[in-house]
Structure 1
Amino acid sequence: MKISKLISLVSFLVLISLQTVEPQDIPSGSISYDKTNKILYRVGGRGGLGYSTNNGNSWVSINAGLIQARKAILKTETGDLLICGYKDQTNSIFRSTNLGSTWINVLNVGAGIFAFKENSKGHVFGISQSAIYKSTDDGMTWISSSLPSDARSIFIDKNDKIFVGGDCQIFISIDDGSTWSTKTQGLTDPYTTFYFGTIASNSMNTVITTSDGSMLFVSKDDGETWEKVSSLGTTRSVGVTGLGSLLVCGDNGTFRSTDSGQHWSTLPQVSNKIIQFESGDTYEVFFLEKYDEFMTEVYPGNLYYSYDDGLTASLTPRTILLNSPNGSETWQAGTTQNITWTSTNVTNVKLEYTTNSGTNWATIIASTPASSGSYAWTIPNTESMNCKVKISDVDNSATSDVSDNVFTIIGMDSITYGGKVYHTVKIGTQTWLKENLDIGTMIQGNANATNNVTIEKYCYDNISANCDTYGGLYQWNEAMAYTTTPGTQGICPTGWHVPTKTEFETLKVAVNNDGNALKAIGQGNGIGSGTNTSGFSGLLAGYRNNYNNFLGLGLGYIWSSTEATEFNATYSYYLHLRNNDSGIYFYYDPKAYGFSIRCLKDENPIASIQIVSPNGGESFVSGTIDSIKWTSTNITNVKLEYSTDSGTNWSTIIASTSASSGSYAWTIPNAPSTQCKVRATDVNNAALFDVSDTTFTISDGNWTVYNTSNS
């Protein structure tokens, strides 16, 4: 971003000659305003140097050993600070890349250089008694050319026209300082020398300047001809505001003109010792007062503040500081959050917000009392991770503050987790995340996740962008956070969990066994094309197998938290969606595979049931009584059944019995078989059941009694 050409005596840096220049010859201090970062810099006294981020309400010293910080300071486009100081009896340009903590001597300067300006190209010009210096690399290197006479003031207008005040003449360049023309018409007073004078120009081709003889000269033809103005008395400094108003200070006071010098009004509240006018934001102007003695303080003279283009000014700055939101907050749409701030000398503030880091702004409220320091904001449903709030003075928008960093607005149906926004969808009685989980650090497909403090994921084909699109692929143990409890949180957000196989079966029922209803639009093809009528937005993200290969992009594999121990202790169940049909399938595969994870909200109590006995290997005799035992959670009643053909057919033991009892006295039926199993089912949810892991035996009760006693 280009620094404004209107930055006056302090535009970039100040140079003082190697010749002895006593401090009394230098105006006591100068200021510079960094419009981009809203930082005010100030130089004054023997080494006084500092900056303010609150419009001069408080200052931070950054002198760092410069014995005499002379005229000016500015942050360059590259972020460096440049200043001219006097050290070891030498005037030098110093450069800092760390906000003044340390400085590098860039150049020792010869003849005294009194002011510097920068043009729109980033070229810096410094004016000396008999030469003009130019730098095209942020002040690192310099070239110089001589001028016909002494010169000590410089101004560059918005068209990059350069004005230099000389001895009874004005020099003008329109080609970046390559050539100069001399203007003398009207500059006829025998005392007309422009040492220490200042020059300013507005957008209406009016140029004003003051001379060593305390006289004001005005040009209304862009510096070609001049005329002396005596009506204001003796004058010593001039300036121009951001809107083009002319400012003049002299013994009779400080004056302002809005019509290129035709008429002047007095600013009675401002000192008659102003040595510099510095334009801030649009309506903002700073007035620096000369201090009679050369002091070492950062602020040796008074600083006046104007927020109405110089019409009025006072010694008290207006300040606004936004406290919240100031970055990293996450606010949900529909909730009410407080915007808070502190302010001084501000009556009303305007509040705005952006969802694109400041490119566009929307009004929250056009005006609210600044004294309240707080505003209850109902967060709009405008999801973004690049939000900021701006607060500004209703009377002067230049007095403002913006959130230091971005914050996040999440929708009414969304959450943030791991720096990402996940949307939610209600399907039947369940609330699901609409995106596959993407949390953790990517590892290569030829590596296995380990039980450490880092969540580890695969990205299809080892391409991180595929995680952005499809979510991560996780080995089962990693997804479960190395527990085996069905329905555990695992790597899901707090309040969410890895769904059980039963919960997936509930989802299947809710969508009428229509896999296409679970697939996002664009997933699958033909009769397997996704309709996403459920809003589940399933992605066919493929998988990583235990041979380190990525396969099946276009097929969906989503882990459940239910192990398939009845088949293999190293296997677990998953939900499977195909690309060419509308089915919803449940299979089991090795836990070492990398599948997707879709989290389920903890809003419904997780119901479970597990057969304890008989669970395989037992032998029972017909007609005897034995106990069927189970454990359960969140189930009211269970139905008990048995099978004599390993689960092909089932017979009812009891249609309903209290689940909380955990036990039922079963009279063993006369149904001899070695392929028996028991099943316990939730009476209210037939999809929730458990079966004996392996078969047990029922015999018919016929046996031979052997007498083992001695006859």
Structure 2
Amino acid sequence: MKKFLLLVSVLFFSQNLFSQISLLYPNGGETFIAGITETIRWTANATTSVQIDYSIDNGVSWTTITPATSPDVLFYDWTVPNNLSTTCLVKITDITNGATSDVSDLVFTIADSSPNPITLVTPNGGEYFVAGTTETIRWYATSITYVNLDYSTDNGLSWININSGISSMFPIYNWEIPSTPSASCLVRVSDFNNETNFDLSDGLFTIEENIASTLTLTYPNGGEIFYNGSQQDITWLSSNVGSVNLYFSPDRGLNWYSIASDIPASMGSFTSTVNAASTTNALVRVSDAANAARFDESDSVFTIIDTTKNTIIVSSPNGGENWQSGSTQYLAWTNTNMTGNVNIDYTTDNGTTWLTVATDLPAMYPSFMWTVPNTPSTSCKIKVYDASDASVFDESNSVFTITTSATGGVVAHYNFNGDANDGTGNGHDGTVNGAQLVADRFSNPNSAYSFPNPSRIAVPHSPELNFAGGKFTFTVW
């Protein structure tokens, strides 16, 4: 079987350092009634204030709604003016960067409430509903107390009642979509006491059967390391899904940014160029373009390394480990563009306070042999940072555990990293006689001893080292 791969290069995982704004509502096709309050909504990838304007002549001229919104609010309640038009637009603009703005994709309508006392808002045409799901019917009604709701599957030739005598005090109705598949559907809202007063959907919408659909992201699915500028495939498996949208999060799903939209689900893969700042908390999401509630994400986070900047990524411990006090464990990390030294700290309270492990270690040797201290805790982390710039750092993604030794602990420990001192702090320091410092098996300089004949390391006698008649373990690596 031949396999075809469609390569499409886009800006993948884009996390722009500058503000990006996207207007969500109104975005075209809506009908607003003069004097009614509507909520303008948008998204932004940075905390910013925006200016909001509207146009009734398809953007030829603009009138300001508000010169500045609160920086942390992504909506604005707008009382629709009595400027009737079928060619209206809304525009939002970053007040600190006028070049960053977004406008409604299509025109919407501002209508007078007096000609028709009832106006159906949604569904108003173009929607895609799935049988068994719940969708919202919205309308406006002036001087009408109760309404009837009906729907049609044959473009209005016949009507089926949804509900009757519904209060217009709260003009919203949650409609469970029936199992009546059709691409020629309409909804009608009418005055309960005078059915000649009514409004219906401006265009047709679709109801489809709730066929079992599946969507599974297969790559990246957690643990991968990608480099900025590299091309990577996003892959997925799907069943009964038409097209998909792809998204990227740099912060474990707190924020999501679009990668690409309306990709045929049958492709099963999409090739993109990584363009993001360094992060150890990256995720990818694939969602059904017709039903955003159907989606899948990376099972766990993956890493992106920006090779244009100094970066440090801690790989061990990275969360979930259980280390015994007195044991020897390797701390490991990767770094990019680092030419100086790094420092290592650890915490037993999830980062509230930090204690020194080691300082001024050559960054080119990204590992360190650590004698775990007797500080039992379930909230431990390791942090590695640039010795000359503490803002360049990384720490364990999650906490690990330090437990008390069940066998009484280590009596003496010799790292041999420059001397023969006892790393436990028990004072059993040795004296080097003829042994020579060499690189260890990880190529770390001056981190092991070679013993030409004759040579030795002598440790003074101590009652604590008297194991006569007892049990002990002697380990060499």
Give the TM-score range, shorter chain. 0.3 to 0.5
Bigger-Rg structure (1/2) = 1
TM-score scaled by structure 2?
0.36
- More helix by percentage: 1
